[in-house]
Amino acid sequence: MKTQYDGDRAGISRRTLLTRTGAAAAALVAAPVLGGVQPARAAGSWRVPGEETPHKRTWMAWPSSSTIWGSSLSLIQADIAKLARTIATYEPVIMCADGPTAAARAGTICGPTVTVISSIPVSDCWMRDTGPLFRVDGTGGLDSFGLNFNAWGENATSFYGIPASAYDKDRTVAQQVAAYAGASFVRADVVGEGGGVEYDGDGTLMATESCWVNSNRNPGRTRDQIEAELLSRFGASKMIWLPGVTGKDVTDGHIDGTARYIKPGVVMVQLAGAVRPDVWTANAQAIHDVLVNSTDARGRQLQVLTIEGPDTLPRIPAGKQKQFLSSYMNWAVTDQAVITTQFGDTTKDEAAKAAIEAAYGRPVIQLDLDNLYGNGGGGAHCVTMQEPNS
């Protein structure tokens, strides 16, 4: 068991596709593309590189809170461990666990290929949203910033009744991971999550307005102000604002379940399969329609690839299917492979695998992560954060 008890070193259901009881109807927030074509970034300037570029390692967090997970905790832990072991086949994985007891369990379940540390306290497993965004400057420099995680606009409390204090440790994860990695750290002047923004590493961002221009995260901030801050932090020059869905899931419509960058100039969109509620079907189509008419920061017309979600979820009880995050898009990219999921719809699973492999030119590993995608409502991307080679 590769476990480090280095405490002296510096340093739920997350998403539901069911309508909340008493919640307002979801709103499709259609937004125009902002920003014109601008010069490419200057050589040596700081930027968050695309996820397809080489990694030093992947960061994850071990769930150990019964307050958050209740009776589902062991099932979620099993899926997190399966994913961590798979990623560790391709690149190093550091798993942050909340103290020695949690670290010991994580090490036992994850096995010797995953490095478990107990010096960075964590509340839950959503490292994409709680961890730092690492930047490089092309000359060997590494720094980072955080997006001031506030439990998805405190939606974890308003949706599920989980006390806000249950996420207190996750509010400081970003700076502690950065310190462990030896990267300087600053806090951004906006509130949000890493799963709420996609970046190509070449000057262009895309995000849903519903996540960012939202009073539960950035009250009093205009879209232009939020855009300017994100562009500055990511080292980008153009934002593509996409339609979003408000009030239907705890994230208010994170982009990483629907549209992802493959590489600069190329994006992939998942059009909804038969099991997705109508609001998400309409939103996916609206996102697609914006992107096919978009150019990036370098003036390239985006190439928009598409896949379709599953039409059946044979392993999931009918009453739970509308809660299920049936997204192939929420993959984790490693240096040598892409790790995603399969849902038991053989035709759609195989088609998605073939399309993602063709897009990346890398093998695609499909795992059964039903508990994470079902009880957790998040996926492989949601629970990982890459640290790039500097």
CA 161, CA 159: separation in Å to the nearest integer?
6
Q: Given the structure tokens 């923004």, which residue do they identify?
A: 197
123: pLDDT confidence band, cut at 50, 70 and 90?
Answer: very high
Looking at residue 23, what is its pLDDT?
Answer: 34
15: how many CB neighbours lie within 10 A of its CB?
Answer: 26
CA 317, CA 135: separation in Å to the nearest integer?
42
Looking at residue 9, what is its pLDDT?
Answer: 31
Percent of the chain with pLDDT over 90: 83
| 170-179 residue pLDDT tens | 999 999 999 9
Q: Is the dihedral of CA 320, 323, 327, 331 positive or negative?
A: negative
Contact 154, 216 (CB under 8 A): yes
| 44-87 residue pLDDT tens | 599 999 999 999 999 999 999 999 999 999 999 999 999 999 99
Residue 35 pLDDT greater than 60, yes or no: no
Looking at residue 303, what is its pLDDT?
Answer: 98
Looking at residue 168, what is its pLDDT?
Answer: 97
| 201-227 residue pLDDT tens | 999 999 999 999 999 999 999 999 999
Looking at residue 44, what is its pLDDT?
Answer: 57
List, as one string, the DSSP characters of 269-333: EEEP-TTS-HHHHHHHHHHHHHHTT-B-TTSPBPEEEEEE--S--TTS-GGGGGGS---S---EE
| 81-113 residue pLDDT tens | 999 999 999 999 999 999 999 999 999 999 999
Looking at residue 31, what is its pLDDT?
Answer: 39
Is pLDDT larger for residue 16 or for residue 323?
323
Total length of the chain: 390
Bridge partners of 144, per DSSP, are 134, 185
List, as one string, the DSSP characters of 224-276: HHHHHHHHHHHT-SEEEEE--EESSSTTSS-GGGTEEEEETTEEEEEEP-TTS
Q: What's the average model confidence in pLDDT over 326-342?
A: 97
The token duo for 99 is: 């103290």
| 234-264 residue pLDDT tens | 999 999 999 999 988 999 999 999 999 999 9
Domains of the chain: residue spans and CATH: 3-388 (3.75.10.10)
Contact 339, 363 (CB under 8 A): no
The token duo for 375 is: 């009880």
Supply the residues annotated as catalytic. Answer: 382
Taking alpha carbons only, the member of 269, 146, 255 closest to residue 205 is 255
CA 197, CA 283: separation in Å to the nearest integer?
16
Contact 247, 282 (CB under 8 A): no
The token duo for 97 is: 């666990």
Q: What's the average model confidence in pLDDT over 4-9?
A: 35
Contact 89, 82 (CB under 8 A): no
